[in-house]
């Protein structure tokens, strides 16, 4: 199996950014630490 | 009075003179002369003429053996030189060794610490992913008032973050070892070069 | 002519010939013995040494007149060596001539 490091890093980065954004939005909408 | 040999006698005597040689050294030499005779004869020259122009097997063998001995001496010298250089590096570079080693270990510890941190992030991330699901069933586990979905997504992000740090650290560590090796080789080259 | 001196000069001659073109063993040997009187047989050990030192490379080439022949080719290191030996020879030549013509301080 050919492991394309660049692709893995790219996807991890994207997942990280998207997850933090989604999580952040939900966090803010739901009133934070309420 | 010199008795002229024919091709068969010439080659036989040559082989006899060189019998101390290993097969891998002896065979190519015999091949060279076989070829010489073959080509010479095909050009119409006589065996006797060829033998006369080649010289005596003894003289030829002398040259072959001389080259062999010279090469042996050269190889021996380089090993002795290398040993000298090696001990010179050890002795001269003692301070360098301690100082350099200290720095090397320091950076190594840093890189290792990064790996540990990456692992911690991944662990925390995975824990965050699972916790919204198991929270109702586990005592003492609280999401701190945060929306479980948010925790879930933060968990994914954190895990990804940890993995990225891990990968980056891997690259840095590889490069570091690469450079450390280069630096070491350079030092050796300088010492042996001066010698 | 002194053997040791001849040996060094011989090496220079071989490398110089190989710079012009690739030769096979027999060709090289006969070419050199045209101008320098030596036992032709001693050239083969020299070629072997040059190959071991990395100054020449051997390769096989088909020949119309029979079995494939072993050709010798100058390597990059060999060209460097040739230049070095040529320089040494020229310097030696100049020094000897200077000495012979009497242009030295008494």
Share of chain B above pLDDT 90, in %: 32
Nearest CA-CA distance, residue B54 and chain C, Å = 4
Domain positions in chain C are: 3-100
Write down the pTM of the prediction: 0.53
Contact C69 B39 (CB under 8 A): yes
From residue B103, alpha-carbon distances to B111, B189, C16, C18 in Å are 12, 21, 53, 53
Q: What is the mean pLDDT of residues B159-171?
A: 94
Q: What is the mean pLDDT of residues C28-33?
A: 91
Touching check for A7 and chain B: CB below 8 Å? Answer: no
Look over chain B and give the mean of its residue pLDDT values, rounded to a whole number.
84
pLDDT attached to residue B195: 45
Rounded to a whole number, what is the distance in Å from the CA of A29 to chain B's nearest CA? 9
Residue C1: is its pLDDT beyond 60? no
DSSP state of B21: S
Average pLDDT estimate for B169-175: 92
Mutate which of B161, B165, B167 to test chain A, going by most A C-beta atoms within 10 A?
B161
User: What pLDDT is recorded for position B188?
Assistant: 67
Work out the pLDDT band at A1, boundaries 50, 70, 90. very low
Contacts of A7 in chain B (CB under 8 A): none
Report the gap between the CA of A5 and the closest CA in chain B (Å): 9
**pLDDT surpassing 90 at residue C7:** no
Summarised one tens digit per residue, pLDDT across range B17-46 is 988 888 888 999 999 999 999 889 888 898
B189 pLDDT tier (thresholds 50, 70, 90): low
> Minimum mean pLDDT among A19-23, B73-77, B122-126: which range?
B73-77
Confidence (pLDDT) at B137? 84
Any idea where the domains of chain B sit in the sequence? Answer: 7-79, 93-194
Topology given in CATH for the domain delimited by C3-100? Arc Repressor Mutant, subunit A (1.10.10)
- Top pLDDT among A3 and B40 is at B40
pLDDT in tens, C37-69: 888 888 999 999 899 889 999 998 887 777 788
Disruptive mutation site among A7, A26, A29 for chain B (greatest number of B CBs within 10 Å) = A26
pLDDT digits (tens, 9 = 90+) for B101-129: 788 889 999 999 999 999 999 999 999 99
- Whole-number CA gyration radius for chain C: 16
Distance from CA of B55 to the nearest CA of C (A): 5
Whether the CB-CB separation of B151 and B128 falls below 8 Å is answered with yes
pLDDT on residue B162: 95
pLDDT at B91: 63
Whose tokens are 């990064």? That residue is: B114
Q: Dihedrals φ, ψ of C105, to 5°?
A: -75, 130
* DSSP per-residue letters across B45-110: --HHHHHHHH--HHHHHHHHHHHHHHHHHHHHHHHHHHHHHHHHHHHHTHHHHHHHHHHHHHHHHH
Percent with pLDDT over 70 in chain B: 86
Interface test with C, best of B42, B54, B62 (most C CBs within 10 A): B54
Predicted ipTM? 0.84
**What pLDDT was estimated at residue B93?**
59
- Does the beta-carbon distance from B154 to A17 stay under 8 Å? no
For the cut 80, the answer to whether the pLDDT of residue B166 exceeds it is yes
């Amino acid at each position: 199996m050919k492991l394309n490091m660049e692709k893995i890093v790219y996807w991890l980065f994207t997942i990280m950014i998207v997850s933090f954004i989604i999580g952040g939005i939900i966090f803010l909408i739901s009133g934070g630490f309420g | 009075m010199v008795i002229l040999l024919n091709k068969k006698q010439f080659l036989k005597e040559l082989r006899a003179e060189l019998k101390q040689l290993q097969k891998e050294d002896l065979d190519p030499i015999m091949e060279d002369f076989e070829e010489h005779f073959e080509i010479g004869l095909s050009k119409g020259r006589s065996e006797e003429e060829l033998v006369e122009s080649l010289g005596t097997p003894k003289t030829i063998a002398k040259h072959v053996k001389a080259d062999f001995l010279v090469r042996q001496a050269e190889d021996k010298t380089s090993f002795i030189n290398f040993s000298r250089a090696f001990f010179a590096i050890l002795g001269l570079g003692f301070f360098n060794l301690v100082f350099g080693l200290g720095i090397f270990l320091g950076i190594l510890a840093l890189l290792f610490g990064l790996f540990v941190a990456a692992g911690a992030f991944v662990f925390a991330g995975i824990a965050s992913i699972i916790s919204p699901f198991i929270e109702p069933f586990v005592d003492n586990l609280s999401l701190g008032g945060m929306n479980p979905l948010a925790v879930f997504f933060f968990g994914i992000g954190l895990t990804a973050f940890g993995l990225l740090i891990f990968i980056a650290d891997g690259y840095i560590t590889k490069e570091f070892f690469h450079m450390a090796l280069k630096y070491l080789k350079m030092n050796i080259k300088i010492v042996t070069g001066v010698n | 002519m002194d053997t040791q001196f001849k040996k060094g000069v011989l090496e220079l001659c071989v490398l110089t010939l190989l710079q012009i073109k690739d030769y096979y063993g027999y060709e090289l040997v006969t070419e050199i013995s045209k101008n320098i009187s030596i036992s032709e047989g001693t050239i083969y050990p020299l070629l072997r040494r040059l190959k071991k030192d990395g100054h020449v490379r051997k390769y096989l080439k088909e020949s119309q007149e029979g079995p494939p022949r072993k050709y010798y080719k100058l390597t990059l290191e060999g060209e460097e060596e040739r230049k070095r030996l040529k320089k040494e020879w020229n310097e030696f030549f100049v020094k000897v001539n200077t000495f012979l013509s009497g242009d030295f301080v008494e």
